[in-house]
C-alpha cells in the first residue's frame, strides 16, 4: 500500500511539474507570435518613410538642376527662341522712339544686333548665379546708339541745323532704358536672391536624404529574417514615390497653372511658362525611374519567394 501511495505521489508531482513547464512555453510562443505580427507593420512604416524620402529627394534634385542652374535657364531661352523674341520686341520699341523723335524707321536696324543682345542676356543671367552685380551694362549700347545718331544727323541734316547735345543725350538715355528693361527678367531677379543663399544648404539636404534613404533600405534587409521580403518593401517604397510624383506633375499639367499667369511681353510669358513647367518635367522623369525600380524589386521578391517556397516543400 505504501508503494501505491508513493507511486500516486510521484505521479502527482510529475503532473504538477509538467504543467508548470507547459504554461511558460505557451507564453513565450504567444510573445514570439505577437512580435512576428508586428514586424510587417514596422517594415511598412519604414517603407512609407523611404517613399517620403524619395519624394523629397525628387524635389531637391529637380530644383538643383533647374532653378539653381544657370545652364537650365540659358537652355530654356535657347529652345524657346527667347533671344530672337527679345530682339524683335526691342526693335519695335526703339522704332516707336525713333518715330517720335523724327528719325526714320530704318534707323533702328543700323545698331540693333541680336548677337550683342544674346551676349548681354547671358552675362545678365550668369551674374545672378555668381552672386555678383546684376545691373545691366548699357555702355556699349549707348556708344552704338550715339554713333548711329551722329551718322544719321550727318547724313540727313542737309541744312546744317544744329542739334542740341541735351536732346541727343536724352534720346540716348531713353533708348538705354528701353534696352535695359527688355533684357531684365523681373521674376528671375526675385528668385536669384534665394538661389545664391540656398544653393549650399540644398546640396547638404540632398546628401542627408540619400544617407537616410540608404539607412532605411539597409534596415529592411539586415533586420529581416527572410531577405526576399526586403525587396517587397523596397518595391512598395519606390512605387509609392512614383505615384506621388505622377500625381503632383499630373495636377500641374492638367490645371496649366503657369499658363494662366499674366505677363505683358510675349517673350517673358513664353519663358516663364517653359521655365516652370520644365521643373515638373523632372517629376515625370523620376516617377518613371521609381516605377521601373519598384517593378524590378517586386520581380526579385517574387522570384526569391517562389524559390524559397519550392525548397520548403
Kindly report the pTM of this predicted structure. Answer: 0.77
pLDDT confidence of residue 11 = 42
Asked which of 168, 187, 206 is the last residue of a domain, the reply is: 187
Q: Do the domain assignments include residue 13?
A: no
Asked which of 122, 154, 187 is the last residue of a domain, the reply is: 187
**Cβ proximity of 120 and 183 under 8 Å:** yes
**Cβ proximity of 46 and 216 under 8 Å:** yes
Place of cell 528719325: 103
> d(Cα 127, Cα 188) in Å, to the nearest integer?
12
pLDDT confidence of residue 16 = 43
Q: Distance of CA 301 to CAs 11, 304, 305, 307, Å?
A: 53, 5, 6, 10
Q: Are residues 132 and 172 in the same domain?
A: yes
By the 10 Å C-beta count (0-12 exposed, 13-18 middle, 19+ buried), 139 is classed as exposed
Write a three-state SS string for 9-42: HHHHHHHHHHHHHHHHHHHHHHHHHHHHHHHHHH
Q: Are residues 174 and 215 in the same domain?
A: no
For residue range 206-260, list pLDDT tens digits in order: 999 999 999 999 988 788 766 667 888 899 999 999 999 999 999 999 999 888 8
Write a three-state SS string for 286-300: HHHHHHHHHHHHHHH
pLDDT confidence of residue 195 = 80
pLDDT confidence of residue 17 = 46
- Successive 10-residue mean pLDDT values, the chain, 313 residues: 45 45 50 59 90 96 92 92 91 86 75 84 86 77 87 73 79 91 81 80 95 92 74 92 96 91 87 92 96 93 71 60
pLDDT confidence of residue 168 = 84
Q: Are residues 281 and 173 in the same domain?
A: no
Give the total number of structural domains in the chain: 2
pLDDT confidence of residue 309 = 62
Asked which of 131, 159, 187 is the last residue of a domain, the reply is: 187
Domain span holding position 51 = 41-71+193-312
> d(Cα 288, Cα 296) in Å, to the nearest integer?
12
For residue range 253-293, list pLDDT tens digits in order: 999 988 888 887 889 999 999 999 999 999 999 999 999 99
Q: Are residues 78 and 216 in the same domain?
A: no
- Nearest to 209, CA basis, from 22, 83, 51, 21: 51
pLDDT confidence of residue 40 = 77
> d(Cα 250, Cα 259) in Å, to the nearest integer?
15
Q: Are residues 89 and 197 in the same domain?
A: no
Amino acid at each position: 500500500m505504501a508503494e501505491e501511495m508513493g507511486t500516486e505521489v510521484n505521479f502527482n508531482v510529475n503532473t504538477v511539474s509538467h504543467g508548470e513547464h507547459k504554461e511558460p512555453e505557451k507564453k513565450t510562443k504567444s510573445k514570439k507570435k505577437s512580435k512576428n505580427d508586428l514586424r510587417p507593420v514596422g517594415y511598412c512604416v519604414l517603407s512609407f518613410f523611404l517613399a517620403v524620402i524619395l519624394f523629397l529627394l525628387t524635389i531637391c534634385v529637380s530644383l538643383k538642376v533647374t532653378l539653381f542652374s544657370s545652364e537650365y535657364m540659358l537652355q530654356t531661352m535657347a529652345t524657346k527662341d527667347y533671344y530672337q523674341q527679345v530682339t524683335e520686341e526691342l526693335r519695335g520699341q526703339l522704332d516707336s522712339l525713333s518715330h517720335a523723335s523724327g528719325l526714320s524707321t530704318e534707323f533702328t536696324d543700323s545698331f540693333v544686333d541680336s548677337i550683342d543682345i544674346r551676349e548681354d542676356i547671358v552675362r545678365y543671367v550668369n551674374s545672378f548665379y555668381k552672386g555678383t552685380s546684376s545691373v545691366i551694362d548699357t555702355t556699349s549700347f549707348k556708344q552704338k546708339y550715339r554713333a548711329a545718331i551722329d551718322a544719321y544727323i550727318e547724313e540727313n541734316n542737309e541744312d546744317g541745323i544744329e542739334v542740341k547735345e541735351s536732346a541727343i543725350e536724352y534720346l540716348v538715355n531713353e533708348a538705354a532704358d528701353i534696352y535695359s528693361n527688355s533684357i531684365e527678367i523681373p521674376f528671375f531677379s526675385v528668385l536669384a536672391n534665394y538661389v545664391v543663399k540656398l544653393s549650399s544648404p540644398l546640396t547638404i539636404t540632398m546628401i542627408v536624404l540619400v544617407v537616410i534613404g540608404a539607412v532605411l533600405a539597409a534596415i529592411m534587409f539586415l533586420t529581416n529574417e527572410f531577405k526576399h521580403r526586403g525587396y517587397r518593401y523596397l518595391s512598395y517604397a519606390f512605387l509609392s514615390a512614383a505615384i506621388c510624383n505622377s500625381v503632383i506633375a499630373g495636377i500641374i499639367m492638367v490645371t496649366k497653372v503657369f499658363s494662366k499667369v499674366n505677363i505683358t511681353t510675349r517673350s517673358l510669358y513664353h519663358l516663364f511658362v517653359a521655365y516652370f513647367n520644365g521643373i515638373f518635367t523632372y517629376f515625370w522623369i523620376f516617377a518613371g525611374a521609381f516605377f521601373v525600380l519598384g517593378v524590378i524589386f517586386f520581380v526579385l521578391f517574387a522570384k526569391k519567394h517562389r524559390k524559397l517556397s519550392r525548397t520548403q516543400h
